[in-house]
Structure 1
């Protein structure tokens, strides 16, 4: 309400409208970054807040990262039922023209659309129903597809010859909006206070060195408990993995990731921690941060492997709200540059150089001593 609504059109970067409607929005979201992170992923409260701010949001919409969607002007956002967004998927607030003007326009997401990890949707984009936007994909206004039920991939996006299974449907699990939203809010608040209380109590009751050791052991134990269900099979429905129990366990682990994780980044302590979580990691491996490997128990990394900042090894996909897991192998002396993503089932056979903004697809087999670039990854000289 402080920012207000904005109309589609062109705005000078020196204008009052730009400062008030666009710049101020980004400032508020950035300033309250940690407070907005209070909302869990895929929570119904995110949709309620966006509707309150003026967005058109239908039912059964699941947003992984609420802040990324909040950065886009709410009154220009139209999301139909069954839409799902995943980690780091973003809606760009404006584009810059050659004349130095900011172009602002609506974004329309059709029913049952999926936005993959790290994809970007530009202003003026209209997506029909049942579109899957792949990871690291850029969808611009120039892309106009009259055909639904397809997969978009690439920078810029282009239609892929992939077949989307027809037997997968999005389940509407919002049978009681009011009661579930109130219950969800109470549970989120309770989980927040319990996790903070345990974290503060641990470090107040023990010396720092002892508290760090106990915290690390608890972090590993909670992770091993949280993945017990995933060891039984490799496919899971949305309701099996997005539960209150899993959120509470994640909240307990997030304290360690937030406060202790940054001190482990780039050190040999981080590979040691991932080994305790179940990863098979060789010697002299450098990892940028604690979030670079999302499923450690399914990852095998050889000797002398290097990951740059923003590189991710992700041993799961969430296709049409179906969680699918598969192991990943990164053999010796491979280098993953910034903003690369390795999907489940992929194997890097050794001495592979993955250039920035590269997507290694599911089950890809990369021959040794090769260089790869693009979305999807293609071998380059």
Structure 2
């Protein structure tokens, strides 16, 4: 019972969004119970989505940066019992998105753990390498472009920019709180008016208030998101985390993280709402996705399917270097449950990405192909005669394994 209470109370989505992507998140995580050792403050040590089983058993090494979606696994559970264990991540690591780190993970110091990497739990201790995929394979720890960009910022410049970033992030947090307070105040006023009319109209007054609050919230948060972009559209960027543009982009993330993004999931109303937010989305689209982080950088064609829990992320943040680019999905594309699509991806028409796959940045997918795996590789060729992977008399829906050479994930 105590563990269940700790699990539920300490995993606050609101406070993670409020303090994440800023220097303030370090103090918040320490307050929860995470052991952060000697922190090298970057202003972006953690994102806006961290989870754990028990915060008192989370240990993060010095100089480590963590993107969104880290889940610290501290509990082994069976049908009759459970066991808690400390989960430790080594020094000077960088963790990508959607990583589940177990207590017996075999990674040490100075590792790059790419997005959706399956953490190895056996074999030698991995150090001074990058890891990617499921099952895991080694990649370079860092590419020259990121190393050169970081080296171009001197220590004195970094300290000055960090102070400026802290001030900018503080204003962002205040704007986030103001938007939530205004939303709550408007809902309170409408409910008060409904209760005042309850004797006259009964339950219909409450029903009308619910409809009014929902409609007003949609309009309000759509305007907040568009205003966070100054009523413009995002464009592809390459920038340091100490570049003022990145601070602006962080503000957009925080203000776009509104309650209505999960509203109407799997219904025809969700594409309409995203269209109002500036996303280019076609007709008859089924959208039950978990997250579309940069909606104005994302294009989805007609009759596409975005299945439960999938993510379209038009950016990457690695080693303090931010990159963003368009994601374009053609007509009739299908993104499987739990799949992850990275920035710079272009899909042709009627492409299928299987469940839990990770489609890496910059991939261009031909029409009528199927992709699977982490990282994703083509397993089904085009169904058109000139690109068929099977003999003409065979079923064009057959699957063929292809050789795959992984790209460098740290780039």
Same fold? TM cut 0.5:
yes
> Quick one: which of 74, 90, 94 aligns to 1:114?
94
User: Structure 2 stretches of 5 or more lacking a match?
Assistant: 194-208, 380-398, 400-411
Does residue 1:63 correspond to 2:53, yes or no? no
CA distance in 2, matches of 1:267, 1:54: 39
> 1:318-333, aligned counterparts within 5 Å?
318-333=317-332
1:84 aligns with 65
Does residue 1:196 correspond to 2:201, yes or no? no
Contact 1:45–1:181 at 8 Å: present in 2 too? no
Cα deviation 1:78-116 (Å, max 9, x = unaligned): 3211x22112122211346999763624413221x2211
CA distance in 1, matches of 2:142, 2:217: 48
SS at match of 1:194: helix
2:19 aligns with 40
Contact 2:50–2:69 at 8 Å: present in 1 too? no
Does residue 1:139 correspond to 2:142, yes or no? no
- TM-score, structure 2 normalization: 0.71
Contact 1:226–1:249 at 8 Å: present in 2 too? no
Moved more, 315-324 or 274-283: 274-283
Does residue 1:104 correspond to 2:90, yes or no? no
Does residue 1:334 correspond to 2:339, yes or no? no
CA distance in 1, matches of 2:35, 2:304: 45
Distance 1:284 1:192, change over 3 A: closer
Cα deviation for residue 197 of structure 1 reads 3.4
Cα deviation 1:169-225 (Å, max 9, x = unaligned): 38779859xx99997997577445422332245554898287356425514532432
2:223 aligns with 218
SS at match of 1:338: coil
CA distance in 1, matches of 2:76, 2:135: 15
1:8 aligns with none
Distance 1:106 1:248, change over 3 A: closer
Cα deviation for residue 361 of structure 1 reads 0.8
Distance 1:342 1:54, change over 3 A: closer
- State the number of aligned residues: 347
Does residue 1:234 correspond to 2:237, yes or no? yes
Cα deviation 1:146-191 (Å, max 9, x = unaligned): 541x321122322136862232438779859xx9999799757744
Distance 1:267 1:24, change over 3 A: closer
Contact 1:60–1:174 at 8 Å: present in 2 too? no
CA distance in 2, matches of 1:186, 1:88: 22
SS at match of 2:122: coil
Distance 1:223 1:48, change over 3 A: closer
SS at match of 1:304: coil
Cα deviation for residue 288 of structure 1 reads 1.1
1:293 aligns with 292
2:389 aligns with none
User: Structure 1 stretches of 5 or more lacking a match?
Assistant: 1-18
Contact 2:149–2:240 at 8 Å: present in 1 too? no
RMSD: 3.7
Contact 1:292–1:313 at 8 Å: present in 2 too? yes
Cα deviation 1:239-261 (Å, max 9, x = unaligned): 33453x6666555444xx31x33
> 1:236-315, aligned counterparts within 5 Å?
236-239=239-242, 240-243=244-247, 250-254=253-257, 257-258=258-259, 260-289=260-289, 292-315=291-314
2:363 aligns with 364
Cα deviation for residue 75 of structure 1 reads 4.9
SS at match of 2:216: helix
CA distance in 2, matches of 1:175, 1:151: 28
CA distance in 1, matches of 2:251, 2:378: 42
- TM-score, structure 1 normalization: 0.76
2:133 aligns with 154
